[in-house]
Chain A
């Protein structure tokens, strides 16, 4: 079950600094549990960030990204109060979208 993200977005001079903390196991499919059986792969495949209607970050993720990923990036053109929307989709088809306003 997809769990909520923690998104922070702050206007810093001419750019917005966005920090996104995601709850996800990001299982590689290569680890074994204590019973010796492989733990099935479960990871985020794509993550998209929109500022209002415009895509500001479009990523393809895979098993090289750690558990509970933390993404931080900057973009220009944002304003206080503007809406930042983050969506991810994982390999099981599960998805989550969360939104925050730029501070």
Chain B
């Protein structure tokens, strides 16, 4: 957003004259204030609601009977309890896995069709991103409350935790390499310490997010995929159980956070 960019630069310059030592947190707050009421994720939420209610697929039905964990059709509050165990598939699923499941079972799409475009690309919009925006927005203001009661939920959490600390690859990196200390950054990006409860809460409660650098609402799947790439690991399979496990670990670390996404970020 170049227009905004200029305005922010101006604001930052002004801020710096007041305090030459304005820290990153303050700058980020100014950034947030500037973008108040300017989050295009709102449009994604609206588009997603339309997609949710539109009949589609070989069965020509909408997703309105999709059970996201709180009963068929209940969208409100569903996201703050995800990932969770679903008895109909005897599996722990995150939001996107569950969406794929519903598109296949309700709408009759094949797996390939249901996962064709998980992320928008230039000129090619994803239908999953807006659905995710709509569903997550329906949990705004609620507290993160992943249950971790079922043995498979506990197992997913433990696997996710292991993955977080697992170091490997050409640089011997793990999530832990970049996200386990305070006040670190790469280039100009602050690296949140995800082992710190407060920071983990703030981070998790603000995903998915409209990314100004990409002009799209990006899901947790996308965020983790980017970080796994930064870690020099092979690309994970979209909506794989490993990503769900990692998400479970992060979601539980954010327990109690007031959910505030889709947010707007760099």
Q: Mark B35-69, 1 if CB is under 8 A from A, else 0.
A: 10111101100000000000000000000000000
Checking B2, B38, B124, B215 against A72 with a beta-carbon cut-off of 8 angstroms, the contacting residue is B38
Q: Which residue of B lies closest to A64 (CB)?
A: B2
Q: Range of interface residues on chain B? A: 10 to 19
Query: Is the pair A39, B40 in contact by a Cβ cutoff of 8 Å?
Result: no
Q: Is A50 an interface residue (CB 8 A)?
A: no
Per the bound structure, the CA–CA distance linking A72 and B39 in Å amounts to: 13
Q: Is A34 an interface residue (CB 8 A)?
A: yes
Q: Is B237 an interface residue (CB 8 A)?
A: no
Q: Which residue of B lies closest to A70 (CB)?
A: B38
**Contacting residues of chain A (51-95) with chain B, CB-CB under 8 angstroms:** 64-72
Query: Is the pair B123, A39 in contact by a Cβ cutoff of 8 Å?
Result: yes
Taking CB atoms, residues of chain A closer than 8 Å to B4 are 66, 70
Taking CB atoms, residues of chain A closer than 8 Å to B89 are none
A70/B42 contact (C-beta < 8 A), A33-B122, A33-B123 known? no
Per the bound structure, the CA–CA distance linking A56 and B148 in Å amounts to: 55
Taking CB atoms, residues of chain A closer than 8 Å to B40 are 21, 23, 67-68, 70
Q: Is A15 an interface residue (CB 8 A)?
A: no
What count of chain A residues pass the 8 Å CB interface test? Answer: 21
Taking CB atoms, residues of chain A closer than 8 Å to B34 are 72
**Contacting residues of chain B (1-33) with chain A, CB-CB under 8 angstroms:** 1-4, 7
Checking A21, A32, A65 against B37 with a beta-carbon cut-off of 8 angstroms, the contacting residue is A21
Query: Is the pair B2, A66 in contact by a Cβ cutoff of 8 Å?
Result: yes
Taking CB atoms, residues of chain B closer than 8 Å to A39 are 122-123
Q: Is A45 an interface residue (CB 8 A)?
A: no
Per the bound structure, the CA–CA distance linking A27 and B125 in Å amounts to: 14
Checking A3, A21, A32, A65 against B38 with a beta-carbon cut-off of 8 angstroms, the contacting residue is A21
Taking CB atoms, residues of chain A closer than 8 Å to B123 are 27, 31, 33, 39
A68/B124 contact (C-beta < 8 A), A19-B38, A21-B37, A21-B38 known? no
Query: Is the pair A66, B38 in contact by a Cβ cutoff of 8 Å?
Result: no
Q: Is B121 an interface residue (CB 8 A)?
A: yes
Checking B37, B43, B121 against A19 with a beta-carbon cut-off of 8 angstroms, the contacting residue is B37
Query: Is the pair B122, A32 in contact by a Cβ cutoff of 8 Å?
Result: yes
Q: Is A8 an interface residue (CB 8 A)?
A: yes
Per the bound structure, the CA–CA distance linking A34 and B122 in Å amounts to: 8
Taking CB atoms, residues of chain B closer than 8 Å to A12 are none
Taking CB atoms, residues of chain B closer than 8 Å to A33 are 121-124
Q: Which residue of A lies closest to B38 (CB)?
A: A70
Per the bound structure, the CA–CA distance linking A74 and B3 in Å amounts to: 16
Per the bound structure, the CA–CA distance linking A23 and B123 in Å amounts to: 14
Query: Is the pair A23, B2 in contact by a Cβ cutoff of 8 Å?
Result: no
Q: Is A103 an interface residue (CB 8 A)?
A: no
Per the bound structure, the CA–CA distance linking A29 and B51 in Å amounts to: 28
Taking CB atoms, residues of chain B closer than 8 Å to A68 are 40, 43, 215
The interface of chain A, by Cβ under 8 A from chain B, is 3, 6, 8, 19, 21, 23, 27, 31-34, 39, 64-72
The interface of chain B, by Cβ under 8 A from chain A, is 1-4, 7, 34-35, 37-40, 42-43, 121-124, 212, 215
Q: Can you sample 10 A-B contacts with CB below 8 Å? A: A3-B43, A6-B42, A6-B43, A21-B43, A34-B121, A65-B2, A68-B215, A69-B1, A70-B1, A70-B4
